[in-house]
A and B are shown apart, each in its own frame.
Chain A
Amino acid sequence: MESKEMRAAYADTLIELATTNRDIVVLEADLMRATGTGSFQKLFPDRLVNVGVAEANMVGVASGLSATGKIPFASTFACFASRRVFDQFFLSANYARLNVKLVGTDPGVTAAYNGGTHMPFEDLGLMRTIPGLTIVEPSDPASCAAFVRLAAAMYGCVYLRLPRKAAAFLYPAGEKFEFGRAKRLKEGKDLVFAALGSLMVGECLKAAQVLAGEGVEAGVVDVLCLKPLDEVTILTAAKATGRIISAENHQVMGGLGSAIAELLAEHRFGGGFKRIGIRDEFGEVGTQDYLVKRFGLGAPDLADAARKLMKES
């Protein structure tokens, strides 16, 4: 399966946009080499603003830029984009109704060797409480490019959660995406996985394959947009099979698992439901593969949850 670095999809799309839209501006806080926007800087040196290791100022500057009509994309590690500058993003950007696109890279266990200090399992929970904020975690390079384009085209703040590493293409280049619309990647009559982000969508697809060998047909919904959540697609899939498992590279509190639990409870879903994600723990150092196993995020964990759900309900 063809793949591409997610950060390359991000940077390439910014270059594509900036070529025709002079208002596109990119901000970095001394992580340009990690985010991979050096390619943007080469082409548009005056439109890449590196503020140094000063994330709070970066979000403020981005807010000010957007007040003058610029469309700023500001990126840093997701731990800093959420925990460190929550008040700046909340007030200067969102409350002020400005137009800031904040990109949090290396979410969850993808922070790997940077370890627990840099491993955000809570960024989605924080961001979800900001009124009106659009939150998206693309699942492949095509959806990443599409949502960067959509974010630029839409007035309003966006939080884009972005692993840097290569991800397999799940969609063709021309696939249409919308904020608030999930994609049904795979149909299955027994249960459905609702997964957020390239890592978890990939693990769910693997788990579905394993389960198919055992005679269990599992569907996969690629959630893509945590806020607004595609309630219709998720609820319809849950009701059709009577069983749903949420899967996120994040705490089960506050993120996708919580969002789906709220949705199911409010709509009197009486079927089976499990949440795969981090269970009230801090992150730690290790390879991504190690951490996926350590925190129970992998295909075997998802398959186990599915088997239990099949027995229970």
Chain B
Amino acid sequence: MKAERIAELERIAKEIRKLTIDEIGYLGVGHIGGAMSVVEVLTLLYHETMRVDPGYPRDPDRDWLVLSKGHAGPTLYATLALKGFFPKDWLHSLNKGGTKLPSHCDRNLTPGIDMTTGSLGQGFSAAMGIALGLSMEGRKSTVYAIIGDGESDEGQVWEAAMFAAHRKLSNLIAFTDFNKQQLDGTTKDILDLESLDDKWRAFGWFTQRVDGHDMAALDKAIQAAKAQAGRPSMIVMDTIKGKGCNFAEALLSNHNMSFGMDEARAAIAALGGAALGGDALGGDALGGDALGGDALGD
């Protein structure tokens, strides 16, 4: 990937990071830590890698994404909004009664969301089923799945891991957001995952380990994964929980935390400027169709 393109994607990532901080800050509470650590991968997937059409979210020839760590939904919403799936002002409706943007991803509420997730481990199995169904149909689509490191404690993840390798699901490219922290502490203290990439290799996956905040490295890993035949791919991303959100990154306990617009504004300013704009930050930015109506149009 050319340096100019990388710089452009990094600019988009910064925008998504700011929108996400704004989105959660406007509500006052949320999973800021794990939302920040997946910004780069979501930016790259939606703004570079994946075949998606914001005007036709359920295009049968699209690439799919299952955000199995469904609590990072706010980052995906910011990514989808910036891509044009829905207006950015919807972001201020996060978790409000009647919203189309619930804390955890819901395929029936939000344009561009491919699978309902939230109970950890489950989205990963669904991604296997989607990959299998698409390959049965002979479609060329790729299925991307993102799991958390804490999520990897779930036995279902490893049931699915065996299944994908056994069925040779090479149209499946998964990522682990290995930010080394789960809700109650570090993964090392709670339930040590290492050596995580060796585990995936042992389960028969084409496994790479990269810096999850390095756009060029991530892109290279995705290209290598796409070139694989006959086995699924796992890209273990070393990431930082809370990355780029100054007040959260400094904390160990940033899995789910309360913060207000003052902190959000300061964090956004540190990233170079207001996301939804000064007006939107202060007032009630709920757009006319952010609540109610048929978002999916199907």
Question: A residues near B, CB below 8 A?
Answer: 25, 46-47, 49, 51-52, 54, 56-57, 59-70, 72, 87-88, 91-92, 95-97
Instruction: Given contact pairs A52-B162, A65-B130, enumerate 20 new A-B contacts (beta carbons under 8 Å).
Output: A25-B136, A49-B132, A56-B121, A56-B159, A60-B122, A60-B123, A60-B160, A61-B126, A61-B163, A62-B129, A63-B115, A64-B128, A64-B129, A65-B132, A70-B133, A91-B118, A91-B119, A92-B122, A92-B126, A96-B107
- Interface CB pairs A-B, < 8 A, 5: A51-B163, A60-B121, A67-B126, A67-B129, A68-B133
Interface string of B113-140 (1 = CB under 8 A from A): 0111011011111111111111011000
Closest B residue to A64 by beta carbon equals B129
A97: B residues at CB distance < 8 A: 107-108, 116
Separation of A31 and B107 alpha carbons in the complex (Å): 31
CB distance from A210 to the nearest CB of B (A): 49
Interface string of B151-163 (1 = CB under 8 A from A): 0000110011011
Known A-B contacts A60-B160, A96-B116; the reply to A70 vs B136 at CB < 8 A is yes
Q: Which of A52, A61, A91 contacts B129 (CB 8 A)?
A: A61
Closest B residue to A60 by beta carbon equals B125
Q: Which 8 A-B pairs have the closest CB atoms?
A: A64-B129, A60-B125, A68-B133, A96-B116, A57-B159, A54-B159, A61-B129, A64-B126
Asked if A60 and B116 make an inter-chain contact with CB atoms under 8 angstroms apart, the answer reads no
CB distance from B144 to the nearest CB of A (A): 13
Separation of A81 and B165 alpha carbons in the complex (Å): 24
Separation of A219 and B58 alpha carbons in the complex (Å): 51
Which of chain B's residues 8-35 have a Cβ closer than 8 Å to chain A?
none
Asked if A64 and B131 make an inter-chain contact with CB atoms under 8 angstroms apart, the answer reads yes
Q: Which of A57, A72, A96 contacts B163 (CB 8 A)?
A: A57
Interface residues of chain B: helix, strand, loop or mixed (majority): helix
Asked if A63 and B125 make an inter-chain contact with CB atoms under 8 angstroms apart, the answer reads yes
Separation of A59 and B159 alpha carbons in the complex (Å): 11
Asked if A64 and B127 make an inter-chain contact with CB atoms under 8 angstroms apart, the answer reads yes
CB distance from B163 to the nearest CB of A (A): 6
Interface centre among A46, A54, A61 (most CB of B within 10 A): A61
Separation of A25 and B136 alpha carbons in the complex (Å): 10
B106: A residues at CB distance < 8 A: 96
Separation of A69 and B132 alpha carbons in the complex (Å): 11
Separation of A56 and B128 alpha carbons in the complex (Å): 12
Asked if A65 and B133 make an inter-chain contact with CB atoms under 8 angstroms apart, the answer reads yes
Closest A residue to B134 by beta carbon equals A68
Separation of A95 and B127 alpha carbons in the complex (Å): 16
Interface centre among B107, B122, B126 (most CB of A within 10 A): B126
CB distance from A269 to the nearest CB of B (A): 38
Separation of A72 and B126 alpha carbons in the complex (Å): 13
Asked if B136 and A61 make an inter-chain contact with CB atoms under 8 angstroms apart, the answer reads no
CB distance from B253 to the nearest CB of A (A): 27
B107: A residues at CB distance < 8 A: 67, 96-97
Separation of A25 and B134 alpha carbons in the complex (Å): 13
Asked if B129 and A56 make an inter-chain contact with CB atoms under 8 angstroms apart, the answer reads no
CB distance from A110 to the nearest CB of B (A): 27
Known A-B contacts A60-B160, A87-B119; the reply to A96 vs B130 at CB < 8 A is no
